[in-house]
Structure 1
């Protein structure tokens, strides 16, 4: 069955890889929701609809969610907790159940050893109003909802042209230090295509064999 997939933050780099994977691997129709639609290129009018909008503007978000069967949120904003609350409310209102949510490594203090110390220092672990603090609050909004959510916590991101990743569940120690944006995009598409194994779960995602005290390029 063809699904209407709403992609919030469609101009993001991970979203770009997910869009390509979804177009290549299935027949879903993609609703590309973004504040700067002029940054989207090579839009296929038969498979994609561009929607100019802001997730912090409830009416704009509500109108987009009303068209969707699935929501994938690829957002980065200091107000991400409010964005999460708006998305959950709109999905509840329109009876949309599946949500794929991109979060951050370290929100549960799940990164062990020297890498965990480095990650917390870089991202403000333990500070409520830090990057990690705000992303944790947003993830808590999602996980306390009744949605069939999947939360993804990527390792530090690279632009490598590869699909190579492994996952850890919530409550397990994070493994490697990096992963490609392309890998995350493909994981997102996989979840959207076959949601049942991933429903109401939360995954850390890294490239195997990249363990260390920090990402290799630092």
Structure 2
């Protein structure tokens, strides 16, 4: 059993991770988010909710008491500031394991026409802060895993493959359920993918853009 801190706990992937962990493990979950009233707790014996701002280092330090693994499901234009707060907070504790959700394209690793399309969609305010945030995580001395999902869908499917930093990104899309499954796998075996930045896509989805675009 592990004590898991989920930052950005109201995110769609985070809620899927929460559900899967409650169904398949005996881990205790500390759910950290703004406006905590948005969350409905299903198992109060295994879930603790904290209302807080992920850019507030002191709030995160307080939430880290007794935690074994941090899973950060954060987003927004201030994600670099959040990364600095998260890394800075963890550095003040005995916690070492961080799972960080990022996005594809932060290393200009997406090839071909899809890569050009991805830049057109995400340059100018999205890729730049996500890349900066990932660098904060990579420059830390934490046992991190950065996850770079393809374009996300709500398909009811768990099917994915991975690539590593330095390899061309594969595919164009992946389901949120697949990313949640990968996160749960890392939580259940924290020794996996240490200090790796992992691209995640659904196999056989190569093309110029995701299927719904």
CA deviation digits over 1:112-140, x for unaligned, max 9?
0000000000000xx5xx21011011000
My pick for the range that moved more, 59-68 or 183-192, is 59-68
Residue in 2 aligned with 1:90? 89
Residue in 2 aligned with 1:63? 62
State the Cα distance separating 1:55 from its structure 2 match. Answer: 1.0
Aligned length: 213
The alignment's TM-score, normalised by the length of structure 1, stands at 0.95
Q: What is the rounded CA distance, in whole Å, between the counterparts of 1:55 and 1:89 in structure 2?
A: 11
What is the SS of the residue equivalent to 1:204?
strand
Q: What is the rounded CA distance, in whole Å, between the counterparts of 1:46 and 1:188 in structure 2?
A: 22
Residue in 1 aligned with 2:121? 122
The alignment's TM-score, normalised by the length of structure 2, stands at 0.97
State the Cα distance separating 1:61 from its structure 2 match. Answer: 1.4
Residue in 2 aligned with 1:132? 127
Q: What is the rounded CA distance, in whole Å, between the counterparts of 1:66 and 1:42 in structure 2?
A: 20
State the Cα distance separating 1:207 from its structure 2 match. Answer: 0.3
Q: What is the rounded CA distance, in whole Å, between the counterparts of 1:53 and 1:160 in structure 2?
A: 31
What is the SS of the residue equivalent to 2:192?
helix
Counterpart selection for 2:167 from 172, 175, 178: 172
Runs of 4+ residues deviating >3 angstroms = none
Q: What is the rounded CA distance, in whole Å, between the counterparts of 2:131 and 2:41 in structure 1?
A: 35
Residue in 1 aligned with 2:16? 17
Q: What is the rounded CA distance, in whole Å, between the counterparts of 2:192 and 2:58 in structure 1?
A: 32
Q: What is the rounded CA distance, in whole Å, between the counterparts of 2:45 and 2:64 in structure 1?
A: 20
State the Cα distance separating 1:108 from its structure 2 match. Answer: 0.3
State the Cα distance separating 1:82 from its structure 2 match. Answer: 1.0
Instruction: Give ranges in structure 1 of 5+ residues lacking alignment.
Output: none
1:214 aligns with 2:213: no
Q: What is the rounded CA distance, in whole Å, between the counterparts of 2:176 and 2:192 in structure 1?
A: 22
CA deviation digits over 1:166-202, x for unaligned, max 9?
0001100001100000110110010010021211111
Counterpart selection for 1:200 from 195, 199, 202: 195
**CA RMSD, Structure 1 to Structure 2 (Å):** 1.0
Q: What is the rounded CA distance, in whole Å, between the counterparts of 1:10 and 1:106 in structure 2?
A: 24
CA deviation digits over 1:20-64, x for unaligned, max 9?
121122111000001021221243111110111111222211110
